[in-house]
Amino acid sequence: MASKLEALQHWVNDVAALTRPAHIHWCDGSDTEYQSLVRQMLADGTLIELNQQTHPGCYLHRSNPSDVARVEQLTLVCHPEQEDAGPNNHWMAPADAHAKIDALFDGCMEGRTMYVIPYCMGPIDSPLSRCGVEITDSPYVVANMKIMTRMGAAAQARIEREAAFVKGLHSTGELDPERRWIMHFPAEKSIKSYGSGYGGNALLGKKCHALRIASNQAREEGWLAEHMLIVGIENPQGETHYIAAAFPSACGKTNLAMLIPPEGYRRDGWKVWTVGDDICWMHPGKDGRLYAINPEAGFFGVAPGTSNSTNPNALKSVSHDTIFTNVAVTADNQPWWDGLPGEPVTDWQGRPYDPANGPAAHPNSRFTVSAKQCPTWSEKAEAPQGVPISAIVFGGRRPSLLPLVMEACDWTHGVLMGAAMGSETTAAATGAVGVLRRDSMAMKPFCGYHYGDYFAHWLALDKAGAKLPKIFHVNWFRKGADGKFLWPGFGENLRVLEWMIERVKGTARGVQTPIGTLPARNELKLDGLALKPGQIDELLAVDNAGWQTEIEAIGEYLESFSPRLPERLRQERQRVADALDADATSPRTATA
């Protein structure tokens, strides 16, 4: 039987025969290699040097204007049977998919260098981590993978030792939207991506491996691969509770992961620790708790809106050794986007800035930076055993109906909360912005198999001996009659997280409602907040009639996954509907 290295070498040889590169480079992940790639990209214009006095080690990449976000309609999950992909995924038969994309790969690397990138998703020595190899013709992808993963010689050594890795093949091709596909083959643990250089389509360790392929691995192996941040909240007594939270892209995950406590909380000794901002792998431990790792080593964050007032930790993180993508620049060659001081002179396409051409920085412009540069980075992010999760939080952009915070009655109700998640769409994916869509567990673009089976997998974790986290739902985005946000958000969200931790510890009683447990009067600490009279009441109001309509809509959505919808979830939705009906004669409002 061939050793793992031989199997890897055979695959590399096969890819080289198909793509016919001029050179093959096996990446070692060294700083010397990274600097060599940067010099090469500066020379050919792939990267542009930014102001090295204000932003040392920082560079700008401008992508093709047709290649600026994930393309869900061109992203396929190719299970052998279409039913296993589910209505939440686009599908093509594996043989047809391979034939279609391999025809595009045929000779596509002629005159180019083929890079072989061994990488590890998660701490290099963690039993919870999983490895992969990406083959690409993009030095920009190599540089980003160096930041975003544990890439190079140590990963290759683990691959040789374990004889297991996910295969990822990528080429920028001609960057033609008509010749662009991102294909996943879960049964083969392989990915093929052609015609895009954008992060989520080209950095195959990220959404492709760490969510779409890993979610299948997780189902097979009994763990969860989720689109979640991981944040540690340390109270004045020195206790740290770790929270995993799922929000659709551009809905504040990075801000919450790097939260700065309000002044009063800082004075009292509260601290926030950043473990991850986007992806979370959770494994049941021997003690029945869920333990989480962040499979990534860096942040691929949305730049617009990141400022000193919204996320100073992110801004400090990107002050050096960062790759910026599709941001604008100022007269003195500093990166710029909405939320920063100064004036842009050149837009994200390299044109003199003219408001008539749209925003100076693309709404989905990004920064790629090592997580260790974050001032709140936690050393626990490298802990091989992961961190124990006390609470799981779901949330999205809902201008009405959804209260500021509510706790699920139990695990099944929490799975329903996650399955029912809805949010207004953002610029992180192509298509209309501001449209309400259901996005269960914030995984709609990333779940690598049928959502009905995915819900069943979540439910299956609730078994004898399990000590599962409490589940909550938050809505930072509820608006008043004047159209303005009712809750200040950002650092003030710690007030809500504190209530969750008190619920975990059993020190907050809460108020029971048909939709879950809400904070009781005076349980949310609001000192120092300039809230108008009645504002917190509105934030925590339960509109029974509105919820009856919502629960019906949730039922219709869930039935779209029949016949694989778990009966247990259907029954739970009916339980909530019955509780709302019973409560309709005396609608209640939880107040702080």
Q: Which residues are annotated as a binding site?
A: 70, 198-200, 207, 227, 249-255, 278, 364-366, 397, 490-493
**Which residue is associated with the tokens 């914030």?**
442
What does the alpha-carbon distance between residue 210 and residue 71 come to, in Å, rounded to a whole number? 17
Considering all CA atoms of the chain, what is the largest pairwise distance in Å, rounded to the nearest integer? 75
Choose among 271, 278, 227: nearest CA to 257. Answer: 278
The 8-class DSSP code of residue 167 comes to E
Asked if 204 and 147 touch (Cβ cutoff 8 Å), the reply is: no
Q: Per-residue DSSP letters for 303-351?
A: -TT-STTT-HHHHHHTTSS-EEES-EEETTS-EE-TTSSS-EEE-TTSS
The 8-class DSSP code of residue 205 comes to I
Cis peptide bond N-terminal to 563, omega within 30: yes
Domains and CATH numbers, the chain: 4-50+64-222 (3.40.449.10), 226-297+379-583 (3.90.228.20), 298-373 (2.170.8.10)
**Which residue is associated with the tokens 């004889």?**
163
The residues annotated with a catalytic role in the active site are 251
Using CB atoms within 10 Å of the CB of residue 588, give its burial: 0 to 12 exposed, 13 to 18 middle, 19+ buried.
Answer: middle
Using CB atoms within 10 Å of the CB of residue 178, give its burial: 0 to 12 exposed, 13 to 18 middle, 19+ buried.
Answer: exposed
Q: Which residues are annotated as a binding site for Mn(2+)?
A: 207, 227, 278
Structure tokens at 495: 């007030």
> Dihedral, CA atoms, 264, 270, 273, 274, nearest 10 degrees?
-30
Mean pLDDT by groups of 10 residues along the chain of 592 residues: 76 98 98 98 98 98 95 96 98 98 98 98 98 98 98 97 96 97 98 96 98 98 98 97 90 92 97 97 98 98 92 97 98 97 97 98 97 98 98 95 98 98 68 77 96 98 97 96 94 97 98 98 93 94 96 97 98 98 69 42
531 Cβ neighbours under 8 A, 6+ residues apart: none
Choose among 144, 152, 74: nearest CA to 120. Answer: 152
Instruction: Please report the pLDDT score of residue 423 as a whole number.
Output: 84
Which amino acid, 187?
A
